């Protein structure tokens, strides 16, 4: 069964432009779909869902108005704590959170702490995340820990990644029509299946999620032993 689904949520901007909607509207539509898809994944017995919401490059290059809209949505996560408790959802976050506003960092830490004992689906949001940045930060952690390079192997190295306590991804989905990984979780995705769809993130629905599951179930997975 598909246990860990990772999604590159792409196409929000193009979806909004096609409908002549302002920036905040398409971010809100994307956030609303996060709630819907998380509930569907839980119903379909998917145990982990990881969503890439903001890359390191986005933080540096996107217009200030857009980043402010994203930060506002990040801060609104706290209002979902009660819903997370009802649905037994465990919240997690990866990425260089230190680059977000201090208030956002506190909110994310609070939500993670409040839901840490829940045993249902684990929802991980990747914020200010980039694979190259993750590798650099992991290397710094290894150096700070004084690890002997001679004892370092793939399993030990992964412990220092943001994703060290998450299962490997079964399927990585990219919405929006582009066929590239953009450096999303490359260390963990050696044996992941990739699923690309033209549907933009606000359009990604139950039918498309079912297509992803059927695609995964029909895949032949070969692993190195």
Residues with catalytic roles: 10, 58
Nearest to 8 by CA among 159, 147, 129, 154: 129
Classify strands 48-55 and 90-94 as parallel, antiparallel or unpaired.
unpaired
Q: Where are the alpha helices (DSSP H) in 120-160?
A: 131-144, 154-158
Nearest to 203 by CA among 5, 30, 19: 30
Report the Cα 181 to chain-centroid distance in Å: 13
Length of the chain: 225
Q: Where are the alpha helices (DSSP H) in 44-127?
A: 56-61, 64-75, 81-86, 102-115
Residue with tokens 């217009």: 63
Q: What angle (nearest 5°) sits at the alpha carbon of residue 149, between those of residues 146 and 150?
A: 130
């Amino acid at each position: 069964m598909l246990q860990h689904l990772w999604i590159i949520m792409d196409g929000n901007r193009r979806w909004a432009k096609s409908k002549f909607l302002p920036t905040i509207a398409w971010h809100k539509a994307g956030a609303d779909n996060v709630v819907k898809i998380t509930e569907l994944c839980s119903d379909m017995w998917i145990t982990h869902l990881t969503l890439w919401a903001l890359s390191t490059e986005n933080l540096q290059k996107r217009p200030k108005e857009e980043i402010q809209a994203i930060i506002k949505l990040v801060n609104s996560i706290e209002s979902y704590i009660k819903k997370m408790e009802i649905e037994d959802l465990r919240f997690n976050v990866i990425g260089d959170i230190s680059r977000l506003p201090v208030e956002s960092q506190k909110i994310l830490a609070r939500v993670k702490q409040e839901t840490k004992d829940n045993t249902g689906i684990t929802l991980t949001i990747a914020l200010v995340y980039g694979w190259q940045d993750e590798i650099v930060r992991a290397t710094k952690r290894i150096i700070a820990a004084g690890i002997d390079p001679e004892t370092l192997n793939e399993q030990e190295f992964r412990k220092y990644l943001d994703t060290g306590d998450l299962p490997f991804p079964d399927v990585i989905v990219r919405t929006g029509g582009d066929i590239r990984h953009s450096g999303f979780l490359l260390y963990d995705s050696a044996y992941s299946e990739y699923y690309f769809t033209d549907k933009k993130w606000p359009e990604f629905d139950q039918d498309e999620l079912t297509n992803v599951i059927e695609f995964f179930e029909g895949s032949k997975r070969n692993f190195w032993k």
